[in-house]
Structure 1
Amino acid sequence: MASKKSSKAVAAMKEDANSSDFVSQGNVNAILAAIGSQGDELKKLIEDKMTALSGRLDALDATLVNLQSEQAGVKQKIVEIEGALNGTDSRLGEVEKVCDDLRAENKSLWAKLNDLEGRSHRLNLKFVGIMEGEERGRPSVFISDLITELFGRDNFPKPVKIDRAHRALLPKPSEGQRPRTIIARIHNDRDKDLILRLSREKFPLEYKGKRIYIFPDYIPEVAARRRAFSSVTKVLREAGLKWSLRFPAKLMLHHNGREFSFESPEEAKKFVGNLSNDSA
């Protein structure tokens, strides 16, 4: 009896084992089938992604080709612009050289023009303060007689020769307004210098009860150059030194039997300063 029961138990155990092996093998096959299905889907997904990526890469390649083409065009334009700029620089250099030459020539011409104009005025004198109509239509004769009247026949035994004389080219003033200046060209340079010296010595001058003034008729450029020596000539005048200011603006100084000339106010100031230090 016991032997039969044991045999049945062993047979049951074997049956259970066989059933368990069957279930496990089925699960494995199901898992493998699922993995295979998912692998196909993953493969399809990867292929789709690769196709999309390939398309994007193709578009990027096309864009790069376009960019390279445009860049080549830009480089060509830059080369052309550089060439044009080099040509422009060369032409500009030539223009600048021409401008420099013209500037130097213009400066030289202006200097000559000022010199000619200044020399044409150097014998002119301006008579300021003479009432309108006093010359009675004969300004040259009037100025000659006026000079004799102002400074006497001792200084001018003969009438001073006047080349020409006229009122300043301005509208005739109304009654009570300042009269126009009379500009007279003195024929002799010595007479002109003497008139100016006497006008300073006999200042103030009067004609028919009215104060009048006599000035040289320098152009503005010459007047400015001569005026630059004013501080030096003031010191020389106060020191009692003999000096003269020649045309157009050249200071002549006589000291200890020697004659010195200065065309620069700075040089003259330095020289006069040294004289003052030596005297001290």
Structure 2
Amino acid sequence: LARTWGWEKNSSASKTSNAAEQQADPNDDANVTPSYLLRAIETLKFELKEDNDSIRKDINSSRQEMRSKLDNISKEMQGLTERVDEAETRVGQVKEVSTELTRTLLQWIKRQRITQTKLTDFESRSRRNNIRLFRVEEGAEEKSVLQFITDLLRRELLLPSDLDLKIQRAHRTPTRKPGPNAPLRPIIINFQEFTTKELVLRQAWKKGRIQIKGRSIYFDHDYAPEIVQKRKEYQAVKRALKSSGIRFQTPYTSMRIHWRDGVQVYSSAHSAGIELHQTGIRYYKLLIWPSQSQKYRTGQMDNILKKWSDRGMTAVCMLTDGKLFKSFEMLKEEF
């Protein structure tokens, strides 16, 4: 710079310049000397270097911190991925186990139904020589139920005089005597031979009305409880058919109705009731007003059926369309 500007390099000049620089005002551009500029530049370079070093340290520190955080995030993501994979594996295993359990449960339900059907069949076969006698007043048999039944059959039925009834047992069921307002216990009559039992039952049905002390009694097969429950479901249909004068029969758990155009057999009370509804015969279970009937206790306990009635669903038959129940969407659209 000295050579460029033509300045002399002697000690005296330098000393004079330094003294002048010390006395000069830095804010006065006219008094700024090259030496001052050099020192200022050196100072600036030093400060910039320090700033650069500080910035570099901060950047390195931030970079290391970010790397550390990224490593932690990567580890956490890896852990989450492993947990998700494990969860998916467990869900898959649960699905497999659930499917297998469902399949096994369905198989066992099917076996249980088959077993229950066989047990019902065995029980029915063990009862095939029995007759149930209903509506006999308590105490009418006096001391011996067996003697009472023998005399009753001989007196009321048209049986051959030389017929040996071969009655093995006769007793009421259940054996414990009920209270004064309890239903009358039926009498079970067990015959040694099936043919004799069938003969007695046919003669009783043929005669029709049999009375003891002004009370009508009737004879029937001794069915298993499951069969009895199944047959009870036809009671409403029987009442409707009787009131309409239509002949019917209930062999075992089915119903045979003699229509004008032929005989039809129904395997359930529901199917028979739907047929009655379509032919215009009043069927109690389909025409019942659930919210009003005193016999339908659920309608008295739950006011939701009253809300149904307010919307127009007054009778059960309104829930059916032919032989099928209407879907929920159809009911929403209609009511």
TM over 0.5: yes
Displacement of 1:168 in angstroms is 1.9
Say if 1:228 and 1:251 are closer, same or farther in 2 by CA, change over 3 A: farther
Displacement of 1:145 in angstroms is 1.3
Instruction: Tell me, yes or no, if the aligned pair for 1:236 and 1:243 is still in contact at 8 Å.
Output: yes
Cα distance between partner residues in 2 of 1:238 and 1:70: 80
Displacement of 1:24 in angstroms is 4.7
The DSSP-based 3-state class of the residue aligned with 2:66 is: helix
Bigger-Rg structure (1/2) = 1
Match of 1:125 in 2: 132
Q: Note if 1:201 corresponds to 2:209.
A: yes
Q: Note if 1:134 corresponds to 2:137.
A: no
CA RMSD, 1 decimal: 3.9
The DSSP-based 3-state class of the residue aligned with 1:166 is: strand
Query: Which residue, out of 92, 105, 115, partners 2:111?
Result: 105
Q: Note if 1:78 corresponds to 2:78.
A: no
CA displacement, residues 163-193 of structure 1 (integer Å, 9 cap, x when unaligned): 422222343457x675754322355123224
Displacement of 1:197 in angstroms is 5.7
More helix by share: 1
Displacement of 1:104 in angstroms is 1.5
The DSSP-based 3-state class of the residue aligned with 1:95 is: helix
Q: Which has the higher contact order (CA 8 A, sep 6+)?
A: 1
Query: Which residue, out of 244, 261, 266, partners 2:249?
Result: 244
Gaps of 5+ in 1: 1-18
Match of 2:294 in 1: none
Match of 1:263 in 2: 267
Query: Which residue, out of 151, 156, 159, partners 2:159?
Result: 156
The alignment covers a number of residue pairs equal to: 246
Query: Which residue, out of 148, 169, 182, partners 2:187?
Result: 182
Which moves more between the two structures, 163-172 or 126-135?
126-135
Q: Note if 1:192 corresponds to 2:201.
A: yes
Match of 1:16 in 2: none
Instruction: Tell me, yes or no, if the aligned pair for 2:209 and 2:217 is still in contact at 8 Å.
Output: no
TM-score (norm 1): 0.66
Instruction: Tell me, yes or no, if the aligned pair for 2:257 and 2:264 is still in contact at 8 Å.
Output: yes
Identity %: 21
Amino acid at match of 1:99: L
Say if 1:237 and 1:50 are closer, same or farther in 2 by CA, change over 3 A: same
TM-score (norm 2): 0.57
Say if 1:57 and 1:241 are closer, same or farther in 2 by CA, change over 3 A: closer
Displacement of 1:61 in angstroms is 0.9
Amino acid at match of 1:59: E
Amino acid at match of 1:189: E
Displacement of 1:161 in angstroms is 4.5
Displacement of 1:35 in angstroms is 5.3
Displacement of 1:69 in angstroms is 3.2
Say if 1:118 and 1:94 are closer, same or farther in 2 by CA, change over 3 A: same
Q: Note if 1:145 corresponds to 2:145.
A: no
Cα distance between partner residues in 1 of 2:84 and 2:278: 66
Displacement of 1:39 in angstroms is 4.3
Instruction: Tell me, yes or no, if the aligned pair for 1:168 and 1:181 is still in contact at 8 Å.
Output: yes
Amino acid at match of 2:159: F
